[in-house]
């Protein structure tokens, strides 16, 4: 049997992730059956599960990828910019509409909860670090603990994801994000 190159293995993994992302977006976590994953990726279950232990591992790999990408943007430009990116390119984030199913799984599956928490910790850590830097340079409000601001931004992010996922209008969300940004900034007193 000929050996498959590392480049080809990486390309297959990428194809699986891209197809699975669309499958999860269209059918949700529970509806993304193995048969549908096969159809979406164009690969057999053997090929899919050669790269990923199971559907949960595949889903968490997607979540990890997005968390890393979002963490990079959040570290440089802030979590509000991540949300602006979601509004600008909702199709890149449509699979996150499975978030409601994720919440159910987090509540009912301790192993999944632990894995999801580990992936979420990265984004929270960079957001906290960025807000701490902003507080030190005087541009972040100092009357609210930084951890509370992180939670606030996370709640807004969850709401944005839900709004996009349910197909509700996003027309006014740019103004909402402007308001969110203003709400975390240090106010300049007019003396």
Is-contact 140 79, C-beta < 8 A? no
pLDDT for 17 beyond 90: yes
Rounded to an integer, the average pLDDT of 81-99 is 81
Is-contact 12 47, C-beta < 8 A? yes
From CA 39, how far away is CA 121, in angstroms rounded? Answer: 33
Residue 34 or 63, more confident: 34
pLDDT digits over 21-38, tens only?
889 888 988 899 999 999
**Domain ranges within the chain, ordered by starting residue:** 1-52, 55-184
Q: What is the pLDDT of residue 75?
A: 77
* Average pLDDT, rounded, for the chain: 85
From CA 70, how far away is CA 42, in angstroms rounded? Answer: 28
pLDDT digits over 147-187, tens only?
998 889 889 988 888 888 778 888 899 999 999 999 998 77
52-64-86-125 Cα dihedral, nearest 10 degrees: 170
What number does CATH give the domain 55-184? Answer: 1.10.357.10
In this structure, CATH architecture of domain 1-52: Orthogonal Bundle (1.10)
Burial of 22 (0-12, 13-18, 19+ CB in 10 A): middle
Cβ atoms within 10 Å of 94's Cβ, excluding its own: 18
């Amino acid at each position: 049997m000929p050996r498959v190159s590392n480049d080809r293995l990486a390309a297959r993994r990428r194809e699986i992730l891209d197809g699975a992302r669309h499958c999860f977006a269209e059918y949700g976590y529970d509806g993304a059956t193995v048969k549908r994953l096969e159809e979406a990726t164009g690969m057999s279950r053997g090929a899919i599960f050669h790269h990923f232990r199971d559907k949960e591992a595949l889903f968490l790999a997607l979540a990890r990828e997005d968390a890393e990408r979002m963490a990079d943007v959040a570290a440089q430009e802030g979590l509000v910019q991540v949300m602006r990116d979601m509004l600008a390119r909702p199709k890149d984030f449509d699979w996150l509409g499975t978030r409601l199913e994720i919440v159910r799984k987090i509540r009912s599956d301790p192993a999944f909860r632990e894995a999801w928490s580990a992936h979420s910790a990265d984004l929270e850590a960079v957001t906290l670090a960025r807000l701490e830097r902003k507080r030190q340079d005087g541009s972040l409000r100092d009357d609210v603990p930084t951890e509370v601001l992180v939670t606030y931004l996370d709640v807004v992010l969850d709401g944005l994801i839900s709004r996009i996922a349910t197909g509700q209008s996003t027309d006014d969300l740019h103004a909402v994000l402007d308001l969110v940004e203003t709400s975390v900034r240090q106010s300049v007193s007019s003396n």
